[in-house]
Amino acid sequence: MAKITFDGIEVEVEDGTTILQAARKIGGDVVPPAMCFYTPLKGSGGKCRVCLVKVTQGSARDPRPMPKLVASCITPVQDGMVVENTTNEEVLNARKGIVEMLLINHPLDCPVCDQAGECDLQNLSYEHGVSATRYEEPRRTFDKVDLGPYIQLHMTRCILCYRCVYTADQITEKRVHGVLGRGDAAEIGTYIENVIDNDFSGNVIDVCPVGALTDKTWRFKNRVWFTKPMNAHRDCPTCSGKVTLWGRGDTVLRVTARKDEYAEVEEFICNTCRFDKKEMSDWTIEGPRHIDRGSVISANHYELPVVNVPIVPNLPKSTVKKMPTE
């Protein structure tokens, strides 16, 4: 076990845990943001640099500070480590610069983009970015690409986090999806129009932190904040069948995997559940999904009130709110 101090809060974690995971154990506002790191995907992390933190004391044995800011998602903890995130000016300034770099080639077409409202990059730039851009050169542009009948790739919006590449490698057996080119010219390619036809290929939509990979069956159907998220399940022979339905009235507009507070999916779902089961009768509704109060999706979203929780039997986990401790 290693004991570290993160933003002045002491936390004890297993050896080999990354700083980011230790911070997530504390939770709340001190957790560094992560655009490329994704817990269920092996090898992800270390690319986007938004999770940079300052290590002011390397370990109890060697108390020298680390010379540069380190990416917290791939740096393992050491006993006696002292880490600063929100309390360090250098980290916050570096993060501001990184957001600016990520947005250099981003088209900022949020009013058109289907990801708006649940976009990690939107949240990140809202919290850490500046409202104006200093970039004057033309942004790189790409045409829309259809990856099979269900997925659309908007390469202009991509921040090259590689999450979808790892998903395609690890969830699916064949490698059909990768990054072509280098540096500024890098792009997500499908090896010359190779369609992704794996049964779990739809999960690249869920892992994408921006609107680069979007669901074609949901394209322009509605805005995410007008839809109601509900937990539901069905007997699925290929996957767990535990999903979130995004609907309006009695129509299911979109099906996604269930995501936790760090937008990481709990269980990957299959394409049949995601794209073909768009009827209320296909699903057993468990109840409304908990939406963070600060999210735009929480507008007009009603959950079971806290006072009723003890008297309603067999409530799904998502509806139970944490009671304030006295």
Partner 1 sequence: MTLSERMYLPAIAQGLGITLKHFFKKKATINYPEETRSRSEIWRGLHVLKRDENGAERCTACGLCAVACPAEAITMTAGERKKGEEHLYREEKYAVTYEINMLRCIFCGLCEEACPKAAIFLQDDKLAPARYERDEFIYGKDRLVEPLKTTETK
Interaction site with partner 1 (CB under 8 A) = 109-112, 116, 219-223, 225-226, 296, 299
Provide the minimum distance between the beta carbon of 249 and partner 1 in the complex, in angstroms, as a whole number.
13
Question: If residue 103 lies in a helix (H) or strand (E), which one and from where to where?
Answer: helix 89-103
Label the pairing between strands 284-288 and 228-233: antiparallel
Q: How far is the CB of 121 from partner 1 (least distance, A)?
A: 16
Q: Which is nearer to partner 1, 219 or 322 (CB)?
A: 219
Q: Can you spell out the DSSP letters for 29-82?
A: GGSPP-SS--TTSTT--SSS-TTEEEEEE--SS--PPPSS-EETTTPBP-TT-E
Least spacing, CB of residue 235 vs partner 1, in Å: 34
- Minimum CB separation of residue 111 from partner 1 in Å reads 3
Q: Which is nearer to partner 1, 2 or 113 (CB)?
A: 113
Task: State in angstroms the smallest separation of the CB of 107 from partner 1.
Answer: 11
Q: How far is the CB of 72 from partner 1 (least distance, A)?
A: 33
> Quick one: DSSP state of residue 185?
G
The Cα 262–Cα 115 span in angstroms is 16
Question: How far apart, in Å, are the Cα atoms of 325 and each of 232, 304, 322?
Answer: 30, 19, 9
CB nearer to partner 1: pick between 132 and 307: 132
User: Residue 25 or residue 216: which is nearer to partner 1 going by CB?
Assistant: 216
**Angle of helix 89-103 relative to helix 120-128, nearest 10 degrees?**
130
Distance of alpha carbon 20 from alpha carbon 186, whole angstroms = 27
β-strand pairing of 251-257 with 2-6: unpaired
| Residue 188 or 297 with smaller CB distance to partner 1 | 297
- In the complex with partner 1, which residue's Cβ is closer, 154 or 289? 154
C-beta closer to partner 1: residue 109 or 199 = 109
CB 145 within 8 A of CB 156: no
**Residue 299 or residue 309: which is nearer to partner 1 going by CB?**
299
Shortest approach of partner 1 to residue 150 CB, angstroms? 16
Q: For the chain, how long is the longest CA-to-CA vector?
A: 61
The span from the CA of 26 to the CA of 210, in Å, is 26
- Cβ at position 224, least distance to partner 1 in Å: 9
Taking the C-alpha atoms of residue 125 and residue 178, their distance in angstroms, rounded to an integer, is: 26
- Dist CA 176 CA 25 (whole Å): 35
